[in-house]
């Protein structure tokens, strides 16, 4: 029904506004078509999500290139987190959520029977808004996942069976902490409790923990929004470095941040629509959609 209203009013010369102050405008397919060199890591097609009767995401179709940073921006409540959770089926954990449509990871459908969700979430790691390290040592935060998955074996039994991977574990801890730009700050206190770290360090530890299970993709939902400017800029630098090896999809409500760190930007707007998607420079300098321009120039949102 809202679609019907949008097409009717978009032709109105008065360019009427919604209650959010947005100009009403139909989404045009070409605004979300984005040609890029290389392979798509994710291809979402006609993705819809409902929470009960609340239709939170509408017909999202988007290809996300590998080994780059894709920013998802848009006002609060437009479905950014919902979309992010579709990429590793975290919405499955929300009782009220219903997902329809397709998401392919490396060309394979993740919304089909028989998909191993543990394996999927290993490949597609997630970092949340507030740092949430385990109340354990720095080292244990890193090795928890690989131990649980049986990728690393330590302890008395492993020693007796000749399967002790202690050296490999030390290497892993160092590699992940270096990968998360935290090693230099914590290498001499790996057995200290992670909760003693600053917020920014905790968030980089959470990134290190995500790296420990050897993912292809890192999903980040406003990972710096609880941090001070210096900690934020460290995370931003890190995100850019990570994209050399990983596919990063990052939600941010901070447009300067999206402009600084991302290769491509997807703009979601009120009502759960993907309105425009393209090269970050193009989105910020020359958006095709009036609504996106209004949003970026701060007329609403």
Ligand X SMILES: Nc1ncnc2c1ncn2[C@@H]1O[C@H](COP(=O)(O)OP(=O)(O)O)[C@@H](O)[C@H]1O
Q: Interface residues with ligand X (CB under 6 A)?
A: 51, 54, 56, 74, 76-82, 94, 96
Residue whose C-alpha is closest to residue 83's, from 64, 66, 108: 64
Q: Where are the alpha helices (DSSP H) in 79-226?
A: 80-86, 117-123, 138-148, 156-160, 166-179, 183-186, 199-211
C-beta closer to Mg ion: residue 72 or 186: 72
Contact 136/195 with Cβ under 8 angstroms? no
C-beta closer to ligand X: residue 3 or 54: 54
Q: How many residues interact with Mg ion (rule CB under 5 A)?
A: 1
Contact 124/105 with Cβ under 8 angstroms? yes
Q: Minimal CB distance to Mg ion: which residue?
A: 81
Residue 252 sits in the site that holds Mg ion (CB under 5 A): no
Nearest distance in Å: CB 40, ligand X:
22
* E strand spans, 16-169: 40-51, 54-65, 69-73, 97-105, 108-109, 124-127
Nearest distance in Å: CB 12, ligand X:
26
Nearest distance in Å: CB 281, Mg ion:
25
Nearest distance in Å: CB 114, ligand X:
26
Residue indicated by tokens 């980089």: 204
C-beta closer to Mg ion: residue 217 or 219: 219
**Per-residue contact flags (x/-) with Mg ion for residues 262 to 301, judged by CB under 5 A:** ----------------------------------------
Which entry of ligand X, Mg ion, none binds 96, CB below 5 to 8 A by partner kind? ligand X
97-105: strand order across its sheet: 54-65, 40-51, 97-105, 108-109
Which entry of Mg ion, ligand X, none binds 56, CB below 5 to 8 A by partner kind? ligand X
264-269: strand order across its sheet: 124-127, 217-221, 247-251, 69-73, 264-269, 273-279
C-beta closer to ligand X: residue 51 or 183: 51
Task: Work out the number of other CB atoms within 10 angstroms of the CB of residue 9.
Answer: 17
Cα(169)–Cα(171) distance, integer angstroms: 5
C-beta closer to ligand X: residue 213 or 266: 266
Distances (CA, A) of 90 to 71, 83, 93, 233: 19, 10, 6, 28
C-beta closer to Mg ion: residue 68 or 81: 81
Which entry of ligand X, Mg ion, none binds 78, CB below 5 to 8 A by partner kind? ligand X
Nearest distance in Å: CB 173, Mg ion:
31
C-beta closer to Mg ion: residue 81 or 280: 81
Nearest distance in Å: CB 98, ligand X:
11
Half-sphere exposure of residue 299: CA atoms within 13 angstroms, side-chain side: 13
Contact 300/29 with Cβ under 8 angstroms? no
Please list every residue from 73 through 112 that binds Mg ion, using CB under 5 A: 81
Beta bridge partners of 264: 70, 279
Nearest distance in Å: CB 121, Mg ion:
19
- For binding to Mg ion (CB under 5 A), which residues are involved? 81
């Amino acid at each position: 029904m809202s679609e019907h209203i949008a097409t009717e009013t978009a032709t109105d010369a008065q360019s009427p506004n919604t209650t959010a102050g947005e100009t009403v405008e139909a989404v045009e397919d070409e605004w979300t078509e984005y040609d890029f060199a290389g392979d798509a890591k994710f291809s979402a097609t006609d993705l819809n999500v409902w929470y009960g009767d609340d239709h939170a995401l509408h017909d999202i179709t988007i290809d996300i290139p590998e080994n780059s940073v894709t920013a998802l921006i848009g006002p609060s409540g437009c479905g950014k987190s919902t979309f992010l959770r579709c990429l590793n089926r975290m919405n499955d954990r929300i009782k009220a959520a219903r997902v329809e449509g397709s998401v392919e990871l490396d060309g394979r459908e993740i919304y089909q029977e028989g998909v191993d969700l543990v394996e999927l979430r290993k490949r597609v790691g997630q970092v949340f808004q507030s740092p949430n390290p385990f109340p354990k040592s720095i080292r244990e935060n890193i090795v928890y996942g690989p131990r649980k998955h049986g990728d690393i074996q330590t302890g008395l039994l492993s020693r007796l069976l000749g399967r002790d991977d202690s050296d490999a574990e030390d290497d892993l801890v160092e590699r992940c902490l270096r990968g998360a730009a935290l090693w230099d700050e914590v290498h001499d206190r790996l057995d200290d409790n992670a909760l003693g770290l600053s917020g920014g360090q905790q968030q980089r530890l959470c990134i290190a923990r995500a790296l420990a299970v050897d993912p292809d993709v890192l999903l980040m939902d406003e990972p710096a929004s609880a941090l001070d400017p210096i900690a934020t800029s460290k995370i931003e630098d890190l995100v850019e470095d990570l994209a050399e090896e990983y596919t990063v999809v990052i939600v941010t409500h901070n447009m300067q941040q999206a402009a600084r760190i991302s290769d491509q930007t997807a703009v979601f707007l009120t009502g759960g629509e993907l309105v425009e998607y393209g090269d970050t420079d193009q989105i910020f300098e020359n958006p095709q959609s009036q609504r996106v321009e209004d949003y970026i120039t701060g007329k609403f949102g």
